[in-house]
C-alpha cells in the first residue's frame, strides 16, 4: 500500500482518473481504492 500511495503522490492525475471511474488500481481492493480517493480529495491534507 505504501508504494501505491507514493505512486499516487507522484501522479495526482491518476487519482482523478480513478475517482472518475476511468482507471482502477491493480492489487487494491474496492474499499482501499475508495479510501485512497477520499484521502487524496481531502483539501486539508493537500495543503499540509
List, for residues 3-43, the tens digit of each pLDDT value. 999 999 999 899 999 999 999 999 999 999 999 999 988 85
**What domain range is 38 assigned to?**
2-47
pLDDT at residue 45, rounded to an integer: 57
28 close to 2: Cβ distance less than 8 angstroms: no
Q: How far apart are CA 41 and CA 45, in angstroms?
A: 8
How many domains does the chain fold into? 1
Amino acid at each position: 500500500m505504501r508504494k501505491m500511495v507514493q505512486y499516487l503522490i507522484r501522479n495526482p492525475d491518476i487519482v482523478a482518473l480513478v475517482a472518475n471511474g476511468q482507471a482502477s488500481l491493480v492489487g487494491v481492493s474496492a474499499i482501499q481504492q475508495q479510501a485512497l480517493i477520499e484521502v487524496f480529495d481531502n483539501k486539508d491534507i493537500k495543503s499540509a
